[in-house]
Structure 1
Amino acid sequence: MLRRICCFVILITVCYSCKPPVKDTDPLPDLHNTGIYVVNEGNFMSGNGGVSFFDTLTNQVTQDLFFLKNTRQAGDVCQSLNYFNNQFYLVVNNSGKIEVLNDDFVNTKTIGGLTSPRYIAFASNNKGYISDLYGKGVSVLNTLTATIEKKISINYWTEELLVFKDTLYVTSPASRYLYLIDTRTSLLRDSIDIGFGSSSITLDANNKLWILCDGNKDKSILPAMICMDPVNRGIERTIFAADYSSYASKLNFNPADKCLYWIDGDVYKLNTTITGSSKQVAISSAGNNFYGLAINQNTGDIIVSDAGDFSQRSQIYVYSKNNALKWSFKAGLISGYMLVK
C-alpha cells in the first residue's frame, strides 16, 4: 500500500501541471433520483478535485456537481464521500478539510484543522471518526456542531474505517495492527496483530470482518486477506498472496451473491459462504487501470473506475451482479471513490 501510494504521488506530481479536461456543459441533476456519486481526486497540488453524478434513471452525467452547486472548486485531492443524517461529507485530503453538504449538495459547513484526512465513518451517537495519512491518529467529529472534539492518538497512518456495534475498526497501512476504538467513549480500546499493512475493510453477511493487508517484504510478511470474528477477536482465516507483487485494494462485500470483491489488477471475488473457496476473476481489466470499486448494496451492481493515465477523465463501468456491462460513462480526473445513494 505504502509503495503504491508513493509511486502514485510521483506520477501525479509529474502530471499535476496538466490542465484538467475541458469542462462539459453540466446538466442540473435531480438528486432525489437514485445515482452514483463519483469522487474525482484530481491532480495533486492542482486543486481540481470534484464529484461527478450519474443519474441511473435518466443515464445523465453531471461532471462537476460540487462546482455547479457551490460555484467554487472542492479542493485538492478529493478522497472520499459519505452520507449521514441527511448530509454529505466530502473528505478533501490535501486541502486538510471536510466539506459538509446538504441533500442538494450545497455547502453548509467546512471543517478545517485536519492534517491529511482520508476517510470518515459514523456512530449512532452523532460522532464521526476521521482517519489521516500524516496526522497519526483518528479525529472525533461532533456532527451536531460540525466541530472536532478530540483526537485519538495512534502512532501510524490511519486508513479505512468501519463501525460495527460499539466499536470502530481502524486500518493502518504502516503498522501490523488493527486498532479498536470504543464509540461510546471515543477511547482506544485495543489493537490486534493481523499481519502488516491493513488498508481496506468490510463486513460480510455473517458479521465477519475481512481486511486486506499489504504485507512487508523486508519483514518477510506476505500480503494477505484476513477474516476476523469481531466477537472473540479471533482470526478465522488468512489467505496469503502468492508473492509480494500483490497490491490488493478497495475491498467490498456484495450482499447479492455473498461475495467479496476487490481490485488487484483485475477485479476479483471470493465466495464467503464456501469454506476454503478461492478467489476468481470477476471482471478482467483487459489493459484498463482499475482504480476505484464500489457495490450497489440494493442491486448488487459492481461499479469500477478506470483511471487511465491519471491525466484524462476516468471511465466508469457499471456491471450487473451477473457481471454483464450495464452502463459506462466518463467522470473526472482520477476517480477513486464511489457512493451509491
Structure 2
Amino acid sequence: MREYLTAPFFRLVVILLVTITLLNGCKDDEFVEPPVVAIGPPVLIANQGNFGWGEGTLSVYYPESKSIQNNAYETKNAEALGNVFQSITSANGQYFFLINNSNKIVVTDSNFAKTKEITGLTSPRYMYRVANDKAYVTDLYASEISVIDMKALAIVKTIPVRGWSEKGILHEGKFWFTAPETNMIYAIDIASDAVTDSIEVGEQPESIIKDMDGVIWVLCKGDESKNQKAQLVSNLFVGIDLFQKNMGIEGAIPTGLAYDSLNHSIYFLSDRIWKMRIDEDTEPQSWKQISNAALYTIKVNPKNGDVYASDVKDFVSKSRIYRFSSVGEPLDEFSAGIISGDFFFP
C-alpha cells in the first residue's frame, strides 16, 4: 500500500516542479529587454519624467534596426539626469541636455559621457546656437534669456524679456522667439544681444518655425477668456514690409509646430495630427488620429521626412512613440520613457 501511494505522489511532485520551472522561465523571458542593435544614425528622445519627483531619462532609438536603448545617460554615467528633461541640442561634437526643474544644462560627449554642467539658470527650456561662440537659452520663469559662451560653456550675460520665453528661430541676423504669456513674438539682434523688434501674432504663441522661403510660421493657442481662437500665423518680410496671414484653428488646443523641409509641409498636434503643405494654398488637414492617445510632441526627421509623435498616456506610464513616413505609412511603434517631450536628430 505504501509503494502504491508514494509513486503517484512522487510523479505529481515532479510534474509540478517542472511546470513551475517552465512558468518561471516564461515569466523571466517576458521582462528581458532585447539587445540594442545600433545600426545607422540614432534619434534621441528626451523623456521629461514626472514634474517634481520623477527623473528625466534619455532614450536612443535606431530607426534602421527598430531598436531602442532606454536610460542611456544613466547607464553611461551611473547617475540620473535630473527633473524635467526638457530638450536636446548639439554643437561642437557635444550634446546639451536642458533639465528644466533642476535648473541646469548637462553637457556630454558624443557617447553621452558627462563632461560638464552649465548652472545658474532658472528654468531652461530650449537652447539655440546663434553664432560660433554663443548660444541663447530660453526660460520658463526667469523673464530673461541667458547668453552662453560656447567655449567656456558658461553664462556670460542675460537679456531681459517679457516673461516666459519658449521656442525660436534665426532670421536675418535676429533671433525671433515666442512669448506664450503675450500675443507677440520678439526679435533679439544677435550682434548687440538686445531686443529690437516685435510682431503681434495671436494669443499664447507657442511654437515657431521658418520655412525654406523665409516665411516665419507661428502656432498660437488662443485664449478663451479673451474670446481669441487658436490660429496659425504666417509672417513674410519683403524689405521693410511685413505680409501676414492668419488661419483660425477649430477644436482642441493646438501645440508643437513641426516642419518638413523635404516635403514642404508643417505638422502640429491637438487631439490628432494635423498637416498642411505650405507650397499650396490650403488649410491644415486632419492627417492621423490615434485612438485614446494623449499626443504631446511631434518632430520631423530632416534627413528623410519621417514623422515622430509621442503619446504620453496618463503622464505616469511609459510613453508610446509613433513613427510615420511623410505619406502617412506607419513605420514603427515602441515604448520610451515617461513623458517623451522632445526628439533630436543628430
Say which SS state the counterpart of residue 192 (structure 2) adopts.
Answer: coil
Say which SS state the counterpart of residue 142 (structure 2) adopts.
Answer: coil
Match of 2:259 in 1: 253
1:78/1:233 CA distance change after superposition, 3 Å: farther
CA distance in 1 between counterparts of 2:237 and 2:114 reads 37
What letter matches 1:306 in structure 2? D
The size of the alignment, in residue pairs, is: 316
1:47/1:75 CA distance change after superposition, 3 Å: farther
CA distance in 2 between counterparts of 1:133 and 1:24 reads 39
What letter matches 1:86 in structure 2? G
What letter matches 1:240 in structure 2? G
Q: What are the within-5 Å matches in structure 2 for residues 55-204 of structure 1?
A: 55-204=62-211
Match of 1:239 in 2: 247
Following TM superposition, by how much is the alpha carbon of 1:235 offset from its aligned partner in structure 2, in angstroms?
4.1
What letter matches 2:247 in structure 1? I
Match of 1:292 in 2: 297
What letter matches 2:109 in structure 1? N
1:129/1:267 CA distance change after superposition, 3 Å: same
Say which SS state the counterpart of residue 218 (structure 1) adopts.
Answer: helix
Which digits, 9 at most, give the CA deviation of each residue in 1:234-270, with x for residues without a partner?
242101123xx53111101112321110101100011
Give the alignment's Cα RMSD to 1 decimal.
1.9
Match of 1:211 among 206, 211, 218: 218
CA distance in 1 between counterparts of 2:300 and 2:241 reads 26
Flag structure 1 segments of 5+ consecutive residues without an equivalent.
Answer: 1-22
CA distance in 2 between counterparts of 1:92 and 1:263 reads 24
Which structure 1 residue ranges, 4+ long, deviate > 4 Å from structure 2?
23-30
What letter matches 1:309 in structure 2? D
CA distance in 2 between counterparts of 1:230 and 1:137 reads 26
Following TM superposition, by how much is the alpha carbon of 1:85 offset from its aligned partner in structure 2, in angstroms?
2.0
| Higher RCO (CA 8 Å, separation ≥ 6 residues) | 1
Which digits, 9 at most, give the CA deviation of each residue in 1:298-318, with x for residues without a partner?
111001111111111111111
CA distance in 1 between counterparts of 2:116 and 2:88 reads 15
Is residue 2:346 matched to residue 1:338? no
CA distance in 2 between counterparts of 1:296 and 1:165 reads 24
Which digits, 9 at most, give the CA deviation of each residue in 1:187-230, with x for residues without a partner?
11112221221110111121101001112222232211110124
Match of 1:263 among 251, 262, 269: 269
CA distance in 2 between counterparts of 1:251 and 1:69 reads 32
Following TM superposition, by how much is the alpha carbon of 1:291 offset from its aligned partner in structure 2, in angstroms?
0.9
What letter matches 2:131 in structure 1? S
Following TM superposition, by how much is the alpha carbon of 1:58 offset from its aligned partner in structure 2, in angstroms?
2.4
Match of 2:328 in 1: 323
What letter matches 1:301 in structure 2? D
Match of 2:41 in 1: 34
1:233/1:262 CA distance change after superposition, 3 Å: farther
Following TM superposition, by how much is the alpha carbon of 1:25 offset from its aligned partner in structure 2, in angstroms?
5.4
Which digits, 9 at most, give the CA deviation of each residue in 1:283-334, with x for residues without a partner?
1122211111110111110011111111111111111111111111110001
Decide whether the 8 Å contact of 1:50 with 1:332 is kept in 2.
yes
CA distance in 1 between counterparts of 2:46 and 2:111 reads 16
Match of 2:288 in 1: 283
CA distance in 1 between counterparts of 2:162 and 2:35 reads 45
Say which SS state the counterpart of residue 60 (structure 2) adopts.
Answer: strand
What letter matches 2:200 in structure 1? D
Which digits, 9 at most, give the CA deviation of each residue in 1:135-154, with x for residues without a partner?
01211111110010111101
CA distance in 1 between counterparts of 2:185 and 2:34 reads 42
CA distance in 2 between counterparts of 1:101 and 1:219 reads 44
Q: Which range moved further: 151-160 or 281-290?
A: 281-290
TM-score (norm 1): 0.88
Which digits, 9 at most, give the CA deviation of each residue in 1:135-177, with x for residues without a partner?
0121111111001011110121111121223111110110111
1:233/1:221 CA distance change after superposition, 3 Å: farther
Following TM superposition, by how much is the alpha carbon of 1:28 offset from its aligned partner in structure 2, in angstroms?
6.4
Say which SS state the counterpart of residue 234 (structure 1) adopts.
Answer: strand
Over the matched positions of the two proteins, sequence identity in percent amounts to 27
Match of 1:308 among 300, 313, 318: 313
Following TM superposition, by how much is the alpha carbon of 1:59 offset from its aligned partner in structure 2, in angstroms?
2.0
CA distance in 2 between counterparts of 1:274 and 1:223 reads 21
What letter matches 2:325 in structure 1? S
Following TM superposition, by how much is the alpha carbon of 1:50 offset from its aligned partner in structure 2, in angstroms?
1.0
